[in-house]
Amino acid sequence: MNVKSKRKTTTTIQKSATQRVNFAVMGDSHVGYGNSLSIFKGLLPKAVASGNKKFVIFGGDNKHGSKGTVAEADYKAFKDTVTRNLSPKKIPYKASIGNWEDNTRVLFTKYLGPVHGQMNFPGTQGKVKYVWLDNAPGKFSYASISLLKSLSPNYYYIIDFHWPLKVKGITVDPTHVLSSQETANFFRAIPGNVRNKVVGIFTHHAHTFYENLNNIYPGFSKTKFYVCGCSGAYKCKCTSSGCGRGYYDATLTINNNQVDLAVKTVKA
């Protein structure tokens, strides 16, 4: 009788590795106002000291309301501080344009690059795109709205711009929030099949920290919304209970092609 040996076949199922990408968000540094440059020089090293940061977002009003040669000096001081802290760590960054920079666009572009655009979010292997927009004068530029209309459902998105949207339940200074019409223009520009791919929206301008994590606008049930507007001295005061200045520590978690965002406020 022939006896056939039975070999046990073992199948290994390899689980997808969870990937985490850490980044920092700073808004309204206002270099050129009061002691904002000194505050910025103190905050930025802290923001990139831990967590192996892959990217830094600067959300506009990076410099204050100077013009001419003073404005150039303020832009240079901002960029020199950024370069000194990020270049040794090889951390890329992008700055959005703010209302105090609206009248110095040529200098903004010279020192900080285009006022709107799209790029791969560093560290995500192209799965997440970073989009920055121009709404410096209190409304979105035509080019910014056109960019939103072109977004593809093949990617996830983190979006940044200066003026906050008027989202459900927002409690920040109403004079520092976009109109309902301008807010609607933003949300409606994003294609329907992309709306559940917008992971997070970062805004600034209002001199406070604010978040809304649920159903910020019809059709955007998975989008988290943030305000980060106190990384400098301008209208960001210290009180007996502490300082309201600071930045966001943020983490993108990618697992099985699903992307989640977690954000923590770090006070000065």
| Domain layout of the chain by residue ranges | 19-267
| CATH T-level assignment (fold) for domain 19-267 | Purple Acid Phosphatase; chain A, domain 2 (3.60.21)
Alpha-carbon gap, residue 200 to 222, rounded angstroms: 9
DSSP 43-76: HHHHHTSSS---EEEE-S--B-S--HHHHHHHHH
pLDDT (tens, 9 = 90+) of the chain, 268 residues, equals 555 555 555 544 455 689 999 999 999 999 999 999 999 999 999 999 989 999 999 999 999 998 999 999 999 999 999 999 999 999 999 999 999 999 999 999 999 999 999 999 999 999 999 999 999 999 999 999 999 999 999 999 999 999 999 999 999 999 999 999 999 999 999 999 999 999 999 999 999 999 999 999 999 999 999 999 999 999 987 765 667 899 999 999 999 889 999 999 999 8
Per-residue model confidence (pLDDT) at position 93: 98
pLDDT at res. 4? 52
DSSP reduced 3-state for 153: coil
Phi, psi of 70, rounded to the nearest 5 degrees:
-70, -40
